[in-house]
A and B are shown apart, each in its own frame.
Chain A
Amino acid sequence: MRPALFGRSRTARLTLVASTVALALSACGGGGGSASDNGKVTLTFLSHYGDEPLKSGISKLIDEWNAAHPDIQVKQQAVSFDDLLTTLNVRQTGGQGADILSSYALWGGQLAANGVLDQPPADVAKDIAENYSPAAAAAVTSGTGQVFGYPTEFNTYVLFYNKKLLADAGYDTPPSDWAQLKEIAEKTTKKDSSGNYQVEGLSLIQGGDNQTAHPFFSLLNSAGGTFLGAGGDSALDDTAKSVMQLEADLAKSGATTTSISPTKTFPSNGVAMAIQASWWIGSLKESMKDGYANVGTAPVPGPNAGEKGSLAYAFFTGVNAKSKHRQQAWEFLTWLNSNKNKEGVTGMGDFLATNGLIPPRKADAAILGAKLQATDPNLKPIYEAAGYAMAESNAANGYKAKTSLHNALNRILVNQAPVDQTFNDLIAEISRK
């Protein structure tokens, strides 16, 4: 009796432990997010197109595909941009990753290094290399040549300026070199008796993650410098130090500050100049209405007249390496990015341009760009920048290195830390990958 009881107890204990472990592990295993039923495949598409007008724009394209391809249905899963990387991470680890992923290209190296991204078919990789803007193609290609997916939201950086504020300070044209940039920034800066800014001369931050990094990269490119090498090692040299010095001088004179949000203050004539991404155009038109007539754009000036620079960043849509239906997923993405409408523009190109973004496919940009630039001359420097902009690094440590840069720039802009020491510390921090 006693051995039997003991045996049952041991079996019960073993069952309990086994079921506990199985329960815990079940959360970490499993297949992808697709489903297959009688030959009909349903693909899941994780993106950050959760808000209007992006949501309805992409839904329209997906509905069109679904109507024409009853055997391969695509289902949208949208989250906010702030939650996108975390969602990608958690779902993939839990075996619930979507078949098709939309991702910021900066994260591409990290995703590729961890085996999340499927290698695109040769014809897709060739199409991207040949038919997309060089900066857009570079943004979605790793240092080892792996293409992550089709480039989507593509942005370049230019100098936005308030024509009236510059005219009030005696300038009819935007700055053409760093000396003039500094001079105009200082002359347009105004503060009240309590020390509050009435006008900030030059904004060196942008909304979103690591606010100081992108304007710095644009200035760095204008001086001929780069940030990271192909393997993620620091490529910062004396040109980077000279950009840091320029920013330090502007902060010291009070012509720039990190305490003012340009997104909120530029539309109310509280910022004279700002280095911002191209998507800002749509936002300014919306918030400034008639006041938008006062807005001008120009290339980000370099150290000497005639030099210019810009940063280009992109998103991409790729396929999950763990998906059971990778071929169908690439089929859908190829259709989305190459199927042309009556005007000869791809569905994705039309969707991006409608939402104020640059279509990364050269043919789309040629057709839509000319039409859009005719209605808004401010788009001209933005489209031109696609030809010379530095693509944002997508090395596996790219995000971490960019955060280190942001912290270093903040120490210069906010704490007025010495440039030499901050520069050396930054290089050491990036080297500790």
Chain B
Amino acid sequence: MTETYAGATRGAPTRPGAGRPRRQGRAGYLFLAPSLLFFTVFLILPSLFAIFLSLSQWGGYDLTQITFIGVRNYGDILNFDSTFLSPILVNTLLFAALSVIPAVAGSLLVAQCIERLRFQGFWRFLYFLPVVATVVAIGNVWKMMYQPSGLINGILNMLHINSIGFLSDPTAALPSVAVVQAWASIGSAVLILTAGIKAIDRTVYEAAEIDGANSWNTFWGITLPLLRPSLLFVFITQCIAGMQSFALIIVMTKDGGPANATNVAAFEMYQQAFRFGAWGTASAMAMVLFVIIFVATLIQLWIGRRAGEDD
């Protein structure tokens, strides 16, 4: 029995087709190699370099001048005297919340409305347009509308309301830019939610109608629960984009002003690295932001799973 077993084991490689799994494995890795190489060069190596830089002092320009300083950069930016915790991180979270909540609510409303309209392709195209437009164009158009003599203040003045310094008043600047971010990101969310709505089995709605449910009941009882996976996806991706966003802020306020009111973590990282030559500080900020986004995403997934959409 032992011999048979041993013989069978020894003989295994000679059996026709027995080497196939290993060859297939090698072929699989070969096919994967280009994308693995891409990820290694453009994701893994830069990430490892950023972790190393976050523990170093480096002014840019010359790789031989990197000095290891331990966790000092983290100590500097997580200090209560540092502007990174407040207002910058606070602004980042506020900007994400102020842009994501209206974007998700708005896109849900728009997707639901489009579902009931004719020419659905046209409406989806219309709402998707801002996604295709460049941030510079969007930012500049809204900037003009927000000017003291711009369209929005013109309308307010016609209604005998005093002008608002949308971009010059520190209390109004962040919400004003967040509204634009929300408006610009509705299009992609509408596409995903429309696909989610279309995937819901129509017979469920028919059954609800027979049972006498009105539009409101079907929305709360059927659409919303069955749309939860799509909503969770939209919420998570919009949150990540909101916390990483800074292009629109640069276009609309140029320097994260007034008085740091629109300065967010991603902009501060850019500023520290490319303007002030503090790459170590910028990398430490990037690591802190990564942890925040990671934890926020885990919390959202956990809440989503508890709500049962995974089933």
Give me the interface of A with B, judged by CB distance under 8 Å.
Answer: 9, 16, 20-21, 23-24, 28-29, 85-86, 89, 92-93, 110-111, 113-116, 194-197, 209-211, 257-260, 396-397, 399-400, 403, 406-407, 410-411, 414-415, 417, 428-429, 432
Contacts and interface: CB of A to CB of B under 8 A. Distances in A.
Given A93-B61, A407-B257, A432-B81, A20 B277 contact: no
30 contacts: A9-B26, A16-B33, A16-B37, A20-B40, A24-B41, A89-B274, A92-B61, A92-B62, A110-B277, A113-B277, A115-B62, A194-B160, A195-B162, A195-B163, A209-B255, A259-B148, A259-B168, A396-B59, A396-B277, A399-B276, A400-B276, A400-B278, A403-B275, A403-B276, A410-B260, A411-B259, A414-B168, A414-B170, A414-B259, A429-B83
A114 B61 contact: yes
A210 to B, nearest CB: 7
A114 B149 contact: no
A397 B276 CA distance: 7
Interface in B216-269: 255, 257-260
A204 B16 CA distance: 86
A327 B192 CA distance: 61
A411 B65 CA distance: 36
A429 B84 CA distance: 12
Given A85-B275, A407-B257, A114 B168 contact: no
A214 to B, nearest CB: 14
Nearest to B250: A82
A23 B62 contact: no
A196 B59 contact: no
Nearest to B273: A89
Given A21-B45, A113-B59, A432-B81, 11 more contacts: A20-B40, A20-B45, A92-B62, A93-B62, A110-B277, A116-B61, A194-B157, A257-B168, A258-B258, A429-B83, A432-B76
Contacts of B170: 414-415
A93 B273 CA distance: 12
Interface in B56-81: 59-63, 65, 76, 81
The 7 closest A-B pairs by CB, nearest first: A259-B168, A410-B259, A114-B61, A114-B59, A195-B162, A400-B276, A411-B259
Given A114-B277, A432-B76, A403 B60 contact: no
Nearest to A97: B61
Given A89-B61, A414-B170, A196 B149 contact: yes
Contacts of A196: 148-149, 153, 157, 163
Contacts of B165: 259
Interface in B153-172: 153, 157, 160-163, 165, 167-170
B271 interface: yes
B163 A23 contact: no
Contacts of A432: 76, 81
Contacts of A428: 81
Contacts of B277: 89, 110, 113-114, 396
A429 B60 CA distance: 22
A86 B76 contact: no
A180 B125 CA distance: 59
Nearest to A24: B45
Interface string B176-200: 0000000000000000000000000
Contact of B65 (A16, A115, A210, A417): A115
A414 B253 CA distance: 14
A396 B274 CA distance: 13
Nearest to A13: B29
Nearest to B164: A195
A194 B168 contact: no
A116 B83 CA distance: 30
Contacts, number: 103
A432 B255 CA distance: 21
A85 B41 contact: no
B21 to A, nearest CB: 14
B63 A414 contact: no
Contacts of B255: 209-211, 403, 406
Nearest to A409: B259
A411 B167 CA distance: 14
B41 A20 contact: yes
Contacts of B63: 28-29, 93
Nearest to A91: B61
Contacts of A197: 148
A163 to B, nearest CB: 25
A176 to B, nearest CB: 31
Contacts of B278: 400
B273 to A, nearest CB: 8
Given A89-B274, A400-B278, A403-B275, A260 B148 contact: yes
Contacts of B41: 20, 23-24
Interface string B281-300: 00000000000000000000
A10 to B, nearest CB: 13
Nearest to B281: A400
A93 B60 contact: yes
Nearest to B37: A20
A306 B288 CA distance: 53
Q: Which of A110, A399, A417, A428 lies at the interface centre, i.e. has the most chain B CB atoms within 10 A of its CB? A: A110
A384 B260 CA distance: 36
A114 B60 contact: yes
B141 to A, nearest CB: 17
Nearest to B64: A115
Contacts of A411: 259
Nearest to B161: A194
Nearest to A83: B274
Contacts of B33: 16
B271 A403 contact: yes
Contacts of B26: 9
A114 B58 CA distance: 9
Contact of A114 (B65, B76, B160): B65
Contacts of B60: 89, 92-93, 114
B46 to A, nearest CB: 8
Nearest to B171: A415
A24 B63 CA distance: 13
Contacts of A113: 59, 277
Contacts of B157: 194, 196
B266 to A, nearest CB: 15
B146 to A, nearest CB: 10
B158 to A, nearest CB: 9
B61 A414 contact: no
Q: Which of B60, B160, B162, B165 lies at the interface centre, i.e. has the most chain A CB atoms within 10 A of its CB? A: B60
A258 B168 contact: yes
